[in-house]
Amino acid sequence: MEDKAVYSLKDVSFAYPGDHGREVLSGLRGEFMPGVFYGVLGPNGSGKSTFLELLLGYKRAIKGEIYLKGRPIVHYKKKEIAREVAFVPQQYHINFPFAVRDVVSMGRYPYLRRFSFLSPEDEMMIERVLREMELRSLSERLITELSGGEKQRVMIARAMAQDTPVVLLDEPTSSLDVKHSLRVLSLFREMVDGGEKTVVCVFHNINEAASFCDHLLFLKEGRICAFGPVEEVLNRDTLGEVFEVDAKVYFEKELGCFQVIFKGKGDKS
Amino acid sequence: MKRFSVELLGMGVLLALTIFVSSSMGFVKIPTWEVIKIVFSHCLGIKFSGISPLHASVVMDIRLPRILCASLVGGGLAICGVVFQGILLNPLADPYTLGISAGAAFGASIALLFGFSFLGIYTVSLFAFIGGILTLLVVIYLSSTSSGGISSNNLILSGVIVSAILSAGISFCKYLAQERVAIIIFWLLGSFASSTWMNALILAVCLTGSTVVFIFYYRELNVLCLGGKTASSLGINPQQVRILLLTVASLLTGVCVSFSGIIGFVGLLIPHMVRSITGPDHLKLIPLSLLVGAILMVIADTTARAVLPAEVPIGVLTALIGGPFFCYIFRKRQVGF
């Protein structure tokens, strides 16, 4: 079982250098399996984004070890990781007027040799991703002219063009409308169901996470509070502990998943 | 790609024409076809009839080294601009943003103030070069965080701070120089008047080397435009690529500045102009900026030398034209691209 894990974390801690060893993340352990949609939840500043950056190999753990497919991630070359893991950051500023298609094509960078151009297979992949993300009508538009939500879809398409077994998403729906949020998450859901893909996604909206994820990971102050299947960890106690709110968790029959209703703890009403 | 090849070829031909035409202009008027004959007879060793020895000497000894230096510096500053804007993720960055020009100017001022001449005419150039590179090192040191990362905002901010300090140093040098202040001022204004074949050769070697490095990394430059974190997730080491390209671009800027003085705005404007025509792909941007930068610098230098009634320092000319254009770009950014 263990050697099948995509990620396996062994007591991983992270602190910023020069921050007097104050750990942003500490003692993380757990395993991430292929074919599972993971949601990461936690209050602001609980280390969610840093957690993704560790899985990406962008930041290095100061203690413990992260294994990607059984090999310590620090032993990977950058391009090797890029062929395994794609990433959509929460924020991006593109100051240069690249066409949408050019940005999506950059997703193929890990597969290109230095002076080779895109192969017909690369072009097909780009074409498919543009279609799936409903970006074909925008493909010649300049990224600097798009709205925030359209830009976010381009960045997701860019990550999808990378065609990796693992996808890390940092609040991918934060500037999308309802329709596109559902579309993006459904696409990733299908990718997880259809193959051996693993998605690890930081969520802002707990109900979105509950609808689409198989497993949830709750972070608070850099520690894992709960990590397991949605039906096991999504309950009043966990939400109370992590978010300090009073919440009611119920099974929404029509959606076929758990949903949450909140009531502020400090609220007198 | 086909359109790009045509553009590249067209610009190449235009550059050659500009060089020939500007070689014919000046105090001694020489017909352009005679300039072409002179150049070919020198390069290929063929004897043409109808070449006056005086004209040959004016073209080969005086005008051509100057014009070639102008074109090489123009091309060099333009591609440095492309690379600095790409690395710093800031379309308003230029070869001088990081304080390299201020450092070079300070180095030159010191050499001129104390009248150092142990390397002959190259003493001031050497001091300018060292000044520029030392400034870059200080700026990188100031802006690097304890985890070894460098953010582009930090780099620009450090560049501004260091430039401000160095400007005070330059002013102090001018003050100390008293009646010799004129030579410092003239150097700072920029000029190709004292260009030699040796300068042109050194510039050509540095420019060729840097262009090869930049083209080699064109795809990384493109991906870096998405931001460091995204570039990293695509398999690039952003710090490593940034430091390498920053160093090469700074060395090239240092060489350009040390031979020509401070010629502002070229590195800022040319990449913008070219980007608006070809788009931001660095594979096209780098070679085309090189050619357009060379053409415009030759035109500017020829205007300063032969068109205006009295010779105007080229740095003044480029700033007078470039400054308002910069304002235009800046304003356009405020109201959205």
Q: Name beta bridge partners: A258.
A: A251
- In chain A the first and final C-alpha atoms are separated, in Å, by 49
Residue (of B273, B248, B224) closest to B80 by Cα position: B248
How many C-beta atoms surround the C-beta of residue A241 within 10 A? 12
DSSP string, A159-225: HHHT--SEEEEESTTTT--HHHHHHHHHHHHHHHHHSS-EEEEE-S-HHHHHHH-SEEEEEETTEEE
Q: Does B87 touch chain A (CB under 8 A)?
A: no
Q: Does A172 touch chain B (CB under 8 A)?
A: no
pLDDT at B42: 85
Rounded CA separation A162/A107 (Å): 5
Query: Which amino acid, B314?
Result: I
**DSSP state for residue B72 in the 8-state scheme:** H
Rounded CA separation B284/B288 (Å): 6
Q: Does A79 touch chain B (CB under 8 A)?
A: yes
- Residues B90, B95, B97: CA angle, nearest 5 degrees: 60
- Name the minimum distance, in Å, from the CA of B237 to any CA of chain A: 7
State the pLDDT confidence band at A2, using cuts at 50, 70 and 90.
low
pLDDT at B74: 96
Q: Does A154 touch chain B (CB under 8 A)?
A: no
pLDDT at A257: 86
Q: Does A251 touch chain B (CB under 8 A)?
A: no
pLDDT at A16: 85
Residue (of B233, B222, B152) closest to A88 by Cα position: B233
Return the SS3 of B125: helix
Count helices and strands (H / E) in chain B: 15, 0
pLDDT tens-digit series, residues A178-201: 998 998 899 899 989 987 799 999
pLDDT at A68: 94
Q: Give the mutation candidate from A95, A101, A156 for the B interface (greatest B CB count, under 10 A).
A: A95
Rounded CA separation A36/B293 (Å): 54
Rounded CA separation B182/B112 (Å): 10
Q: Name beta bridge partners: A12.
A: A28
Half-sphere exposure of A9 (CA within 13 A, CB side): 26
Under CATH, what is the fold of the domain B68-335?
ABC transporter involved in vitamin B12 uptake, BtuC (1.10.3470)
Rounded CA separation A5/B229 (Å): 25
In sequence order, the 6+-apart residues with CB closer than 8 A to the CB of B255 are: B76, B129, B202, B203, B206
- Name the minimum distance, in Å, from the CA of B235 to any CA of chain A: 4
pLDDT at A3: 67
pLDDT at B200: 94
In sequence order, the 6+-apart residues with CB closer than 8 A to the CB of B320 are: none
**DSSP state for residue A99 in the 8-state scheme:** B
- Long-range contacts, stretch A105-109, CB < 8 angstroms, 24+ apart: A105/A161, A106/A158, A106/A161, A106/B222, A106/B223, A106/B226, A106/B234, A107/A157, A107/A158, A107/A159, A107/A160, A107/A161, A107/A162, A107/A163, A107/B234, A108/A161, A108/A162, A109/A82, A109/B219, A109/B223, A109/B234, A109/B235, A109/B236
Q: Do A94 and B225 touch (CB under 8 A)?
A: yes
Rounded CA separation B105/B165 (Å): 12
Rounded CA separation A174/A178 (Å): 10
pLDDT at residue A1 tops 60: no
Rounded CA separation B32/B30 (Å): 6
Q: Do A53 and B147 touch (CB under 8 A)?
A: no
pLDDT tens-digit series, residues A31-55: 999 999 999 999 998 999 999 999 9
Q: Does B236 touch chain A (CB under 8 A)?
A: yes
- Give the max Cα distance, chain A: 66
What is the average pLDDT value for chain A, to the nearest integer?
A: 89
Residues of B in contact with A89 (CB under 8 A): 227, 229-230, 233
**DSSP state for residue A142 in the 8-state scheme:** B
Place of tokens 């099974």: A251
pLDDT at A269: 45
pLDDT at residue A116 tops 60: yes
Residue stretches of chain B with pLDDT short of 70: 146-149, 333-337
- Residues B49, B55, B60: CA angle, nearest 5 degrees: 105
Return the SS3 of A8: strand
pLDDT at residue A209 tops 90: yes
CB-closest option in A96, A155, A162 to B280: A96
Q: Are A101 and A130 in contact (CB under 8 A)?
A: yes
Find the mean pLDDT for residues A245-251.
88
Question: What order do you get walking across the sheet with A63-68 strand by strand?
Answer: A23-32, A7-15, A63-68, A71-72
